[in-house]
Amino acid sequence: MPISVNNTMKRRKFIQNSSMLGAGTLMAGSPVIHAAPWRISPNDKLQIGVIGCNGMGWSNTNSILKMEDVDLIAICDVDQAAIDKRLASYAELRTNEPKVYRDYRELINNPEIDAIIIGTPDHWHCLPMVEAVQAGKHVYVEKPISNTIEECKIMVEAAQKSGKIVQVGQWQRSGPHYRDAVDIVRSGKLGNIRLVKVWAYQGWMTPVDKLPDEPVPEGVDYDFWLGPAPQRPFNRNRFHFNFRWFWDYAGGLMTDWGVHEIDIALYAMQVEAPISVMASGGKLAYPDDASETPDTLQTVFKYQDFSMLWEHATGIDGGLYGRTEGIAFIGNNGTLVVNRQGYEVLVERYPRGYAERGESRMEPIEAFKKPKELNYLDLHTQNFVDAIKANDSSKLNTPIGSGSVAAINAQMGNIAYKTGEKVYWDAVTNTFKQNKQANKLMKADYHNNWKVPNV
């Protein structure tokens, strides 16, 4: 049923007024006064648009559309084939017909849109996110939030100034068993945690075959796809999914899988920035394939009271603790190992020299296995919608400020790898100490007349 103009204007005014109230109290530094929750009527739905609908952009959209009080009214992509595919899928879910855009700026300017999902390649996260919140839209932005440390900081500042609700697609935060694992870590039961290991071994990743450059496929606006990235001939290896393995657009497994695992690790340990980072690895599994990012990498992050070791490897599944991916919190009393399937605690025993030799150092904690029917992405998108309805960013499981921590740390790991040096972070100046190359790699380098957004 179409929404009347009067109902639409009333809804729009209420959303704008409640958002301004939240933003005003935050900027004034006074206690936050949350607006009354947005009451949904059968004729009054949250209206969303999606920018970048080929991969996770559509996974996120499909998840959020499981809620009956949400409609997709706009879709944007530079690939007409992707748009056609998603419109066909949407027709099976809803009766309305979304407007189609090729330029994300036109979608953002649509006054009927309440919230926007950004599912573009990493190098295209910053600009639309900043412009969306400046236009008064709430945003769900895919991880990692951007391709550089500078862009991360810009995006966080833009969200804070706008007062809009911005959720990052690091959906493990919405998983109940991850929250339980965090509680165990913070309880002190594991004893002093001296090391955290995070890893992703991806056996499904085969070599990226070298392909010749070719003409731009019909229906693709390739210049717009490149956007602020350097100008290059069209090559299918760099387009759609495989963009992840090229530095122009992303940061490889470190920022793809890494932000998920690093996010939980640092959130549980309640730290944000390392003291130093060093990395070793390279293209060791497939040295002659087309990808640029390392297929094998070990990165050591030193924090005040512990170290964190990131590992990734393509083409093999033999990860740590018999798991292809996960996080291990290694304490004096025991080690908690958690991944997407669940968690378990490996209890330490007192060694020789202790009166309690052979006895457990902690009470056992029952292992947990995630129910297959529980979809954590659905919980994450529901959390986003709930926060919008309440006009309360504090309800978000991964607000952009918190979500940026994992992205920035992962990018520090890539910077250490690129420089080939141990880099030291200055938390006061937010720069690397005495390392011009590392500091240069923090910056966003925009091309093709695109400008780094100003907030």
Sign of the dihedral defined by the CA atoms of residues 40, 41, 44, 46, in that order: positive
Are residues 435 and 391 part of one domain?
A: no
Are residues 398 and 408 part of one domain?
A: no
Domain count, the chain: 2
Are residues 180 and 146 part of one domain?
A: no
Q: Which of 228-232, 257-261, 350-354 has the lowest mean pLDDT?
A: 350-354
> Rounded to an integer, what distance in angstroms lies between the CA atom of residue 283 and that of residue 291?
9
Are residues 166 and 180 part of one domain?
A: no
Q: Grade residue 259 by pLDDT with cuts at 50, 70 and 90.
A: very high
Backbone φ and ψ of 30, nearest 5°: -90, 170
Alpha helices, DSSP H only, in 163-244? 176-187, 222-226
Say if residue 156 is exposed, middle or buried (CB neighbours under 10 Å; 0-12, 13-18, 19+): buried
Q: Grade residue 4 by pLDDT with cuts at 50, 70 and 90.
A: very low
Are residues 395 and 351 part of one domain?
A: no
Backbone φ and ψ of 313, nearest 5°: -155, 135
Are residues 394 and 280 part of one domain?
A: no
Over 314-366, what HEC string results?
ECCCCCHHHCCEEEEEEECCEEEEEECCEEEEEECECCCCCCCCCCECCCCCC
User: What's the mean pLDDT when you consider all of the chain?
Assistant: 91
Contacts of 373 (CB under 8 A, 6+ apart): none
Whichever domain contains 70, its CATH number is 3.40.50.720
For the record, the structure tokens of 240 come out as 């759609």
Neighbours of 45 (CB within 10 A): 19
> In terms of residue numbers, what domain contains 25?
5-173+381-402
Are residues 134 and 69 part of one domain?
A: yes
Q: What is the pLDDT of residue 272?
A: 97
Judge whether 394 lies within some domain: yes
Judge whether 65 lies within some domain: yes
Mean pLDDT of 90-114: 96
Contacts of 429 (CB under 8 A, 6+ apart): none
Q: What is the pLDDT of residue 19?
A: 36
Judge whether 451 lies within some domain: no
Q: 404 near 392, Cβ under 8 Å?
A: no
Judge whether 183 lies within some domain: yes
Matching residue, tokens 């409640």: 18
Q: What is the pLDDT of residue 11?
A: 40
Q: What is the pLDDT of residue 173?
A: 98
Identity of the amino acid at 140: Y
Q: What is the pLDDT of residue 265?
A: 98
For residue 113, the surrounding DSSP H or E stretch is: none
Are residues 188 and 69 part of one domain?
A: no
Are residues 126 and 197 part of one domain?
A: no
**CA geometry: angle at 248 spanning 53 and 106, to 5°?**
40
Mean pLDDT of 268-296: 98
For the record, the structure tokens of 411 come out as 């990018």
Are residues 133 and 234 part of one domain?
A: no
The larger pLDDT score, comparing residue 453 to residue 34, is at 453
For residue 156, the surrounding DSSP H or E stretch is: helix 149-162
Judge whether 454 lies within some domain: no
Matching residue, tokens 């080939």: 420
Beta bridge partners of 101: 76
For residue 452, the surrounding DSSP H or E stretch is: none
Q: From residue 150, give the alpha-carbon distance in Å to each of 214, 220, 273, 373, 416.
A: 33, 29, 15, 39, 16
Mean pLDDT of 138-152: 98
Say if residue 445 is exposed, middle or buried (CB neighbours under 10 Å; 0-12, 13-18, 19+): middle
Judge whether 455 lies within some domain: no
Judge whether 447 lies within some domain: no
Q: 313 near 285, Cβ under 8 Å?
A: yes
Percent of the chain beyond pLDDT 70?
91
Q: What is the pLDDT of residues 401-420, one digit of tens each?
A: 999 999 999 999 999 999 99
Identity of the amino acid at 355: A
Q: Is the pLDDT of residue 16 over 90?
A: no
Judge whether 307 lies within some domain: yes
Q: Is the pLDDT of residue 249 over 80?
A: yes
Percent of the chain beyond pLDDT 90?
88
Q: 240 near 250, Cβ under 8 Å?
A: no
**CA geometry: angle at 193 spanning 278 and 430, to 5°?**
40
pTM (whole model) above 0.85:
yes
Are residues 332 and 185 part of one domain?
A: yes
Are residues 153 and 182 part of one domain?
A: no
Whichever domain contains 420, its CATH number is 3.30.360.10
